[in-house]
Amino acid sequence: MCGINGIYQFSGFKRDQNLIEKMNNSLAHRGPDAEGVHRDEFINLGHRRLSIIDVDARSNQPFTSNDRKWVMVFNGEIYNYKSIKSQLSDYDFKTDSDTEVVLAAYIKWGDKCLRAFNGMFSFAIWNLETKSLFIARDRLGIKPLYYVLTDEEIIFSSSVRSILASGLVEKKTREQSLIDYLRYQTVHAPYTLIEGLFQLIPGQQLSINEEEGILFKEYWKINEDYQHSKLNLADTQTKVRSLVSESVEKRLVADVPFGAFLSGGIDSSIIVGLMSEVHDKKVDTFSVTFSEDEFSEGKYAKEVADKFKTNHHEIELGASEFRDLIPEALSFMDHPSGDGPNTYVVSKKTHEAGIKMALSGLGGDELFGGYSIFNQVADLQSKGWLKSFPAYARKPLANSYHMLKGTVASSKIKEILKLEFFDMEYIYQFYRQVLMDDQIKKILKSSDLPRHSAFDITHKLVGYETIGWKMPPLSRISAAEISTYMQNVLLRDSDQMSMGTGLELRVPFLDHELVEFVLGVPDQFKKPTSPKKLLVDSFKDILPENVYNREKMGFVLPYSHWMKNELKSYCEERLNHLKNYKQFRDGGIEKLWSQFLKGHKRVTWSRIWPLVVLGDWLKANEIDE
């Protein structure tokens, strides 16, 4: 796990040669073990290394091929690299690293090597003879890759801040991205909050060469027409168990101490159980507990830890300690998001215990239907009688219902009831929305809001007449969740917060072979009559009953209480910073904050916290407007 940087000028390198060191320094936290630079007449490549596999200095980067024709910078892990290496007997390997395997595979197979890789990665390969560049990002978007592309050059990095640190990009916000952030507490790929700065989307490659020019290509899509499983229920459960078990075992390849995050929920408990089966030593597990009992899952985590006899570490967190960690956590917020500090806390404590790599249960909810949205969308679409009323007739009913309830949920139901169509992508765009459009219009000067990015993404993925339409209905929701909320909030935050502490995080539920199989499973086998029933039934023999027969809590800090008390002044300072930006309406932020303090039903802590983070990020990065 590392950080990569690059500046390629198509007509010859004329930039300051020290810029690549400046970019490297800005992401030193991603790679504290080693750093390196490659320079030639066209390109500068930089790398910071966190050593996990083959910690020998021979594997430091930028990595050059034996014939000195190729140079690579690589961030991530390839879990099946030993199997791939056995197919490359004609290459004279000098190291035991997956880095060299990636380079050798590309030299032999070209971009077809991507199909062979099982892992998380972003990398760039430079051919010194042909002056061609190849960049790629993993299928599920676990590892980041940002870039700025002009007629003269491409600047790329694992980090937004690294690109900003180069001084080559104007620090100007993209207005549509700001609205996207206010709606969804993030900015969806391929965009970022900065004008002209983009993300390579998951499963995408970019080649720049004389023959093809500049060419983007998707080598993997989540909405592929996967072969629907024809297995019966028992065999489906056996296959799920096998794929999850294999995924966990693959992710235990490391030359450093490792452990696991253990929340006491279904996903992390399964991972810890499987780790205990295949690992010959006690597994180190880590969980956050709170002095406020209603937020703590500590007793469930301890039950799982006792069952599998792990070396368990409880991280008890109170308001004062969390308050002290907030500035530190946000300092590693590479791109603003409404989530993250919780992951930072557990990552920091895990790293302090001597662990350099940890497994996480992230992805289980999205893949196996763990969220309420999987029931809610299906339930709403089953109400065919609603469609018999035209939208104009439903509108008064929707408004009346919202006026009666006045909650976040009722505001979303109001928007859904006014829709012309009840196809999944039309409904879905509101479920992950944080601030509703009427609230956004009250804090922004512009009332001309663009179409929802969540709609555009899901419509392209699973809309009518797309390949994704052939997927089972619950799988279409999974594809939407993975491609929006998971990739652009959960994975981004997990990467930037764990890497901020020098910890590599691996996510077994996002093995692409597991994802492809589960997306092809028919709904009747995984319909969530209880949370993640297919997953639970596949592992019921190793799960304590208290883990799967309890109400889902999720890993949520007691923000609301803290923001009104211990963190109140901290929040106000960052909200006040937003007044400096011309996009915000005078008094809009203050009114929203006042509503939160008074307990307004529509202005919960999760509607305010993303604004606090935004104010902090804009100030810390000196964004002009």
pLDDT tens profile 389-417: 666 666 676 666 667 677 887 788 788 87
Is the pLDDT assigned to residue 259 strictly greater than 70?
yes
Q: Which CATH number fits domain 2-218: 2.60.40.10, 3.60.20.10, 3.40.50.620, 3.40.1160.10?
A: 3.60.20.10
Instruction: Bin 303: left if φ > 0, else alpha if -120 < ψ < 50, else beta.
Output: alpha
Written as one letter, the residue type at 515 is: V
Among 147-156, 294-303, 344-353, 486-495, the range scoring the smallest mean pLDDT is 294-303
Q: Rounded mean pLDDT of 322-336?
A: 88
pLDDT of residue 230: 83
DSSP string, 95-127: SS-HHHHHHHHHHHHGGGHHHH--EEEEEEEEE
Q: What is the pLDDT of residue 98?
A: 92
Give the pLDDT band of residue 293 (cuts 50, 70, 90).
low
Query: What average pLDDT score do residues 301-308 get?
Result: 90
Q: What is the pLDDT of residue 544?
A: 85
Q: Is 63 helix (H, G, I), strand (E, B) or coil?
A: strand
Does this chain's domain 2-218 share its CATH topology with 224-550?
Answer: no
* Cis before 190? omega within 30: yes
User: What is the C-alpha R_g of the chain?
Assistant: 24
pLDDT for 590 equals 96
Could you give phi then psi for residue 413, rounded to 5 degrees?
-60, -40
**Beta carbons of 23 and 5 less than 8 angstroms apart:** yes
Using CA atoms, how far apart are residues 565 and 123, in angstroms rounded to an integer?
44
Check residue 139 and give its pLDDT: 98
Q: Taking the C-alpha atoms of 514, 141, 2 and 335 in order, what is their torsion angle to the nearest 10 degrees?
A: -140
553: left (phi over 0), alpha (psi -120 to 50) or beta: alpha
Place of tokens 């030593």: 281
Confidence (pLDDT) at 409: 79
Per-domain residue ranges for the chain?
2-218, 224-550, 559-620
Q: 568-577 and 605-620 are packed helices; what angle lies between their axes, rounded to 10 degrees?
A: 60
Q: How far apart are CA 565 and CA 569, in angstroms?
A: 8
Average per-residue pLDDT in the chain?
89
245 in Cβ contact with 275 (< 8 Å) = no
Kindly report which listed range (85-99, 283-297, 429-443) carries the lowest average pLDDT score: 283-297
Of the candidate ranges 24-28, 369-373, 401-405, 470-474, the one whose mean pLDDT is the lowest? 401-405
Query: Residue 456 CB: number of other CB atoms within 10 A?
Result: 15
Helix (H, G, I), strand (E, B) or coil at 497: helix
Higher pLDDT, 294 or 256: 256
pLDDT of residue 440: 97
Q: Is the pLDDT of residue 489 over 60?
A: yes
pLDDT, mean of residues 72-81: 95
Question: What confidence score (pLDDT) does residue 426 get?
Answer: 87
Task: Judge: domain 224-550, CATH 3.40.50.620.
Answer: yes
Predicted confidence at residue 497, as pLDDT, reads 93
* pLDDT tens digits along 205-244: 999 998 889 999 999 999 886 666 789 999 999 999 999 9
Residue 426, number of CB atoms within 10 A of its CB:
18
138-189 pLDDT tens trace = 999 999 999 999 999 999 999 999 999 999 999 999 999 999 999 999 999 9
* Residue pointed to by tokens 């996903």: 267
Residues with a known catalytic role: 2
pLDDT single digits (tens) 515-567: 999 999 999 998 877 889 999 999 999 988 877 776 665 555 678 888 999 88
Beta bridge mates, 72: 63, 125
Pairing label, strands 213-218, 258-261: unpaired
The pLDDT, as a whole number, for residue 410 is 79
- The answer to whether 294 and 321 are in contact (CB under 8 A) is no
Q: In this predicted model, what pLDDT tens digit does every residue of 430-467 receive, in sequence order?
A: 999 999 999 999 999 988 899 999 999 999 998 888 88
Residue 166, pLDDT score:
93
The answer to whether 488 touches 186, Cβ cutoff 8 Å, is yes
Separation between Cα atoms, residue 355 and residue 358, nearest integer Å: 7
Beta strand 70-78 pairing with 213-218:
unpaired
Tokens of 513: 């072979």
pLDDT at 468: 83
Would you give the DSSP letter of residue 132? Answer: E
Question: Would you state the structure tokens that stand for residue 125, as one six-digit string?
Answer: 């390969």
Q: What is the DSSP letter of 194?
A: B
**360 falls in which pLDDT band (50, 70, 90)?**
very high
Q: pLDDT-based confidence at 53, cuts 50/70/90? A: low
- Residue 223 has a pLDDT of 87
Q: Give the closest residue to 77 by CA, choosing from 204, 251, 261, 279.
A: 251
Q: What angle do CA 399, 416, 469 make, to 5 degrees?
A: 170
CA 53 to chain centre: 23
pLDDT at 86 over 70: yes
Across the range 478-499, mean pLDDT stands at 95
Provide the residue type at 520 as one letter: G
